[in-house]
Amino acid sequence: MHSECAWPERLPIGIGLRAAAAQMADIVTVKLPYAASVGKVTLPAGEYTIRDLKDDGSTVVLSIQSAAGPGVSALVTQVSSPNNKPARQTEVVLRLDGDKYQIDKIWLQGRDYGYDLHPAISHER
């Protein structure tokens, strides 16, 4: 059984969003206050870098990597932001699934879209 948690459903991330190399649109650094899973991979609380590995127009793969080592690559779907308005801040949305958090969505400040993670299609890095 899973449910949306009231707090911390949306975790505002006071981070730097910076342009990267030509192949990657953005690199985002986030701090997870709790351990959270992407599929079967559990990421401990801590700082992570999220970047776009592949975007051929229909397929997007995000890398979520810790400087300390653990990381995961996940297939995601680009989704429109609520009300099609640009996000005010970068956010990682966690979903409570039983007694564990799952990374559900990622919204990028200034963008009118975000990413919906496909937890079944991910692998440890």
For 46-72, what is each residue's pLDDT tens digit? 999 998 886 666 678 889 999 887 789
Nearest to 18 by CA among 90, 92, 125, 112: 90
Residues 70 and 43 sit within 8 Å (Cβ to Cβ): yes
pLDDT tens per residue across span 84-100: 899 888 889 999 989 99
Rounded Cα–Cα distance for residues 86 and 91 (Å):
12
Chain mean position to CA 39? 12
Q: What is the mean pLDDT of the chain?
A: 75
Position 73: which residue type? Answer: S
State the pLDDT at residue 55: 62
State the pLDDT at residue 124: 56
Rounded Cα–Cα distance for residues 48 and 85 (Å):
26
Share of the chain above pLDDT 90, in %: 28
The pTM score is 0.72
Residues 93 and 10 sit within 8 Å (Cβ to Cβ): yes
